């Protein structure tokens, strides 16, 4: 699943399609070689071979926003509570390099928003029609990155295989 700049992720999956016989592939050697090419902070936890033509697609993602304690006030808690009460939430979205703007109702892409201590957990729905973007979540909550105590983190992706 695409990842915004400045976004940390847990539980990401990378699928690579290779044109080779599975019996000819040394998975551990491939894992070591691939790992050596990754930037600091990225690691391959598991690698395996699956002979299939099916694909996995994301159907949901959960983001964690760690808010600075002095910014976590009643107004923010009220915003969290009121967002999902709305039938529609229209945002103005830039859709191309030319700067074309389109109104998008992002309400169908919000599953749940929960407060957990000084963190806000946002469960998003991903569909073939789209999803809500992290910057749009922050705008809805009237938060900017300066009010966060850590980078936004995607802590989970729900996958569906065909």
CA–CA gap between residue 60 and residue 151 (Å, rounded): 20
Q: How far apart are CA 138 and CA 78, in angstroms?
A: 15
* 42-60 pLDDT per residue, tens: 888 877 777 666 677 889 9
The pLDDT tens digits of the residues spanning 67-95 come to 999 998 889 989 998 999 999 999 999 88
Q: How many helices (H) and strands (E) does the chain have?
A: 3, 7
User: Chain-wide mean pLDDT for the chain?
Assistant: 87
Q: What is the enclosing helix (H) or strand (E) of 78? A: helix 74-83
Residues 6+ apart with CB under 8 A from 9: 3, 153, 154
Please tell me the predicted confidence (pLDDT) of residue 22: 66
- pTM higher than 0.85, yes or no? no
């Amino acid at each position: 699943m695409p990842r915004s700049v400045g976004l940390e992720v847990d539980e990401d999956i990378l699928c690579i399609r290779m044109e080779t016989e599975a019996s000819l592939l040394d998975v551990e050697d491939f894992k070591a070689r691939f790992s050596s090419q990754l930037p600091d902070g990225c690691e391959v936890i598991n690698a395996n071979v699956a002979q299939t033509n099916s694909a996995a697609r994301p159907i949901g993602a959960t983001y964690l926003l760690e808010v600075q304690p002095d910014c976590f006030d009643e107004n923010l808690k009220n915003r969290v509570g009121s967002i999902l009460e709305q039938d529609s939430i229209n945002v103005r979205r830039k859709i191309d390099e030319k700067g074309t703007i389109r109104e998008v109702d992002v309400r169908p892409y919000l599953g749940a928003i929960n407060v957990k201590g000084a963190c806000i957990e946002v469960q998003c729905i991903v569909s073939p029609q789209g999803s809500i973007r992290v910057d749009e979540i922050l705008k809805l909550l009237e938060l900017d990155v300066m009010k966060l105590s850590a980078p936004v983190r995607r802590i989970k992706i729900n996958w569906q295989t065909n």
